[in-house]
Structure 1
């Protein structure tokens, strides 16, 4: 059974047209002109219960608009949406008791209060029995390793600590679906890894369906089994992450801090993008040279002070997908 069904979904915005020149600006005050902007264009997809789906694309692709329509925050211009058998537009209140949401840039925790107080308030909002809420907070505290964070005002928490508390807060009422909108944005590599581990654990132990929007390719590779790629409001790809990874995520970037001779012969599949006295950036085609071999080659030359592996930006991945589709038709 599908947890989410979307058919021919569209969203149009009415945007004000800004005209140049002083005279045009005064005219716009009296008689403004508008244009229609298609944020989402006739998209269709489904998500099965217990599935972890990556809904990915560059900034402005339509990811956040789609997730807001799925959760009832925005009303679609046309098309059909079913989330857990409910219409998010007409049955938003009923749906809110069965879904959880985490928006990377917006908090559901009270800024000046410790998370434990926010949890209590949210428990009252969701009408959770006090004993059940107490047990649920204990389970989530252990799962997300919150410990002393519960008694620390949110304003004093780091971004990574706050995100962990945000995800825990969204799970208080044991939702069937968790919507995560850019949950790792602004986090460092270590904290991103921790958040991804927690998402997988939650799905594995509780069977929670995860709908994750992101422009971070690491979220896709390490968490999701299937990816839907959206760009300019249109779905351009829908396939298993394993195939997406092989076809489009085969380039990695290695940043190394140490002296590198720009004229040094590189292994096949490794190219030098940038070099200086303190280090270099290398591009690795993992189809030709596995990342572990490239790392061994770098370390074997000695003098490595620091080394990191980075993913290419989502914009590059989207460009590669478009190029591939243009060639294959």
Structure 2
């Protein structure tokens, strides 16, 4: 079942042309001159019920603009968007009931009141039944390690605590879909681990569909099996993460630790890239050799103590994808 469907989506913004020279400020007030900035340019994709999809791209690529159209904040210039059969901008109230949204740099929580009071207010806003509210709160607070801050004002929380609290708030009303826009930006390693585990668990347990925009490729590796890559408003790639790695991450590495130091040597279909103590690193093309072939070839000549296969970094793969266009 398709949960999110985007077809030939376009979003344009009018940018006023700033006058220069004498009385420029006054002339700008009365000028209707403008240029058109196309932030999202004819993109088409869909997300199935229960999928976790990474929506990635450089700054200014159009990711957040797309999320805002999916959540009903912005109206598309043209094209069609449906979220579980609902047109977000035309049916904003109905759409709000079925989605949860977290913007990493903004909060939906009330800054000066204790966290629990924000949750009670959201309970009334979303008209959440008492049983559902209590069950979700009892489940999510320990999962996100929020016990110590539940009675603290939001302004006294760390960034990691605040993001976890925001994600909890976004899920209190049991939305079918969760939009996460840069949720881990600036968040510490421990909080990221809690967030990764929590999102995975909610997806497995409740089948929540998740669309995640991020610059942190660790988020993509931990959570997503599929990625959509966008650049300057254009769709560049839509497919599973493994296929993208296979296509653009063709160079792999093999680290071999020997029982004793050995001199530098060459191996067929591989290149020695680094030598340090008893360890050597070799790079190889995934279509020309397998790790086992290299290990067997080297192990026949030298006593091997340990090995490590190093896959290409996701950030490097995305960079190569951009360079290929």
TM-score calculated relative to the size of structure 2: 0.79
Structure 1 residues 236 and 91: CA distance shift in structure 2, 3 A: same
1:164 CA displacement? 0.8
> CA offsets per residue over residues 93-120 of structure 1, 9 Å max, x none?
0111111010101101111112111000
2:55·2:213 contact (CA, 8 Å) conserved in 1? yes
User: How many corresponding residue pairs?
Assistant: 288
What residue number does 1:62 align with? Answer: 62
> CA offsets per residue over residues 29-57 of structure 1, 9 Å max, x none?
44252100000001100000000001100
Counterparts of 1:251 and 1:94, CA distance in 2: 48
Counterparts of 2:284 and 2:113, CA distance in 1: 48
> CA offsets per residue over residues 50-101 of structure 1, 9 Å max, x none?
0000110011000000000001000000011110111101111011111101
1:194 CA displacement? 2.5
Question: 210-219 or 20-29: which moved more?
Answer: 20-29
What residue number does 1:48 align with? Answer: 48
Structure 1 residues 319 and 122: CA distance shift in structure 2, 3 A: same
TM-score calculated relative to the size of structure 1: 0.78
Counterparts of 1:23 and 1:156, CA distance in 2: 47
Q: Which runs of 5+ in 2 are unaligned?
A: 253-263, 276-280, 296-304, 306-310
Structure 1 residues 270 and 176: CA distance shift in structure 2, 3 A: farther
Counterparts of 2:132 and 2:200, CA distance in 1: 24
What residue number does 1:304 align with? Answer: none
What residue number does 2:78 align with? Answer: 78
Counterparts of 1:250 and 1:2, CA distance in 2: 32
2:69·2:76 contact (CA, 8 Å) conserved in 1? yes
> CA offsets per residue over residues 105-155 of structure 1, 9 Å max, x none?
110111111211100000000111233312221111132222122111111
Q: Please list, as runs of the form range in 1=range in 2, the aligned pairs for 1:45-194 lying within 5 A after superposition.
A: 45-194=45-194
> CA offsets per residue over residues 186-239 of structure 1, 9 Å max, x none?
113332233112111111111100011112211111110100000000001011
1:177·1:209 contact (CA, 8 Å) conserved in 2? yes
What residue number does 2:8 align with? Answer: 8
CA-atom RMSD in angstroms: 3.2
* Greater Rg over alpha carbons, structure: 2
2:72·2:92 contact (CA, 8 Å) conserved in 1? yes
Structure 1 residues 167 and 285: CA distance shift in structure 2, 3 A: farther
